[in-house]
Amino acid sequence: MAAHSPHRAGAGTDAAARDPRPIAVTLGDPCGIGPEIVLKACADPSLALPLRVIGDTGLLRREAARLGLPMPAQVDSIVELGADLPVGRIDPRAGDAAWRFIVHAAHLALRGEVRAIVTAPIAKEAMHAAGHDFPGHTELLAELAGGVDVRMMLANPELRTVLVSIHLSLRDALGKVTFDNVLQTIVITDTALRRAGIGRPRIAVAGLNPHAGEAGMFGREEIDTIAPAVAAARARGIEASGPFPPDTVFMRARGLRDFDVVVAMYHDQGLIPVKYLGIDDGVNVTLGLPFVRTSPDHGTAFDIAGRPGPDGRGLASAHSLLAAIREADALSAAAPRGL
């Protein structure tokens, strides 16, 4: 797992030697950069791993010809999308296809046919336009896995954060800062990091309010909700501490290495610090699933999808997708039954 972990993944770890099953890679939204970065990742000579691409063979062939790249060795062709699909725009056909790719990959993982899933970016608006009302990958995968309780972790080589709530408005997210939700997030985080090979994870819990409430002057959530959840986690033997002021706790985890992970109260509180450090090395990991799932730390990038680039190979970088594949490789070796 990223961020100073004993399971920092590399190109071709010995996981593949112990487990010959491929890693499933979904194509994401076909109108975005997903097809381009999947082809680039599959063609990367440093990635000595078996991959099973979930997508559309015809679309991949057209994109491979445009980019001058080879076709992946193994493709599950789930849909047949016409050549008239608009590049760089929202389209319900693309949203439906992206949904089908995810569902197929999840079923493969639940049947044990693949050892991890890596998902290329989707356009939530396109998926909603196709009638699939899920806020994102995380919530859809949780339902496909039987309604399990999951959390999003974003990680790079310097910092990990786990979120109490994910894709909600800020007003709704505040209502999710409850004793049970905070405690369960700490427990899920501790379990996942232990399975990934960290013997006793040091978990910092961020406050919700400025200065963690300043002893109740700026709000009582820290006193009434977050601190009791931290105490309950510690009573279970979990090395959790806080709540800490949100404007400094991430620096303590990154720079001073005081903590292995920070539990954040809502989406932007936890994701802005990681994304500010750089998109290319960021990996999204879903905790709580019965299989390993990772994804790159960026979106569909409609603005550069299909553009040729100076070398004719397109403008999209596969760096973050490669990081997600390597992380899935390492995590599936450390925790083959999920995090």
Based on DSSP, count helices (H) and strands (E) in the chain, helices before strands.
Answer: 13, 11
Structure tokens at 288: 């709580």
Q: Do 254 and 141 share a structural domain?
A: no
User: How high is the pLDDT of residue 335?
Assistant: 86
Q: Do 243 and 111 share a structural domain?
A: no
What is residue 55's DSSP assignment? E
Q: Do 309 and 221 share a structural domain?
A: no
Q: Whole domain around residue 213: which residue ranges? A: 159-276
User: How high is the pLDDT of residue 1?
Assistant: 65
CATH number of the domain residue 63 falls in: 3.40.718.10
Q: Do 169 and 84 share a structural domain?
A: no
225 domain-assigned: yes
Per-residue pLDDT of the chain (339 residues; tens, 9 = 90+): 655 444 443 444 454 456 899 999 999 999 999 999 999 999 999 998 999 999 999 999 999 999 999 999 999 999 999 889 999 999 999 999 999 999 999 999 999 999 999 999 999 999 999 999 988 898 999 999 999 999 999 999 899 999 999 989 999 999 999 999 999 999 999 999 999 999 999 999 999 999 987 888 888 999 999 999 999 999 999 999 999 999 999 999 998 889 999 999 999 999 999 989 877 788 999 999 999 999 998 899 999 999 988 887 899 999 999 999 999 999 999 888 888
Structure tokens at 87: 């590049």
154 domain-assigned: no
What is residue 218's DSSP assignment? T
Reported in sequence order, the residue ranges of the chain that DSSP labels E, i.e. its strands, are 23-26, 51-55, 75-77, 116-119, 151-155, 160-163, 203-206, 240-244, 261-264, 283-287, 293-296
Q: Tokens 């309010």 map to which residue?
A: 209
Q: Do 137 and 75 share a structural domain?
A: yes
Q: Do 269 and 174 share a structural domain?
A: yes
**Count of structural domains within the chain:** 2
Q: Do 126 and 184 share a structural domain?
A: no
The helix (run of H) or strand (run of E) holding residue 287 is: strand 283-287
User: How high is the pLDDT of residue 12?
Assistant: 46
User: How high is the pLDDT of residue 88?
Assistant: 95
Q: Do 143 and 75 share a structural domain?
A: yes
Q: Do 169 and 124 share a structural domain?
A: no
User: How high is the pLDDT of residue 14?
Assistant: 54
The pairing of beta strand 283-287 with beta strand 293-296:
antiparallel
Peptide bond into 86 cis (omega under 30): no
Helix residue ranges, H only, 198-288: 221, 227-235, 246-254, 267-276
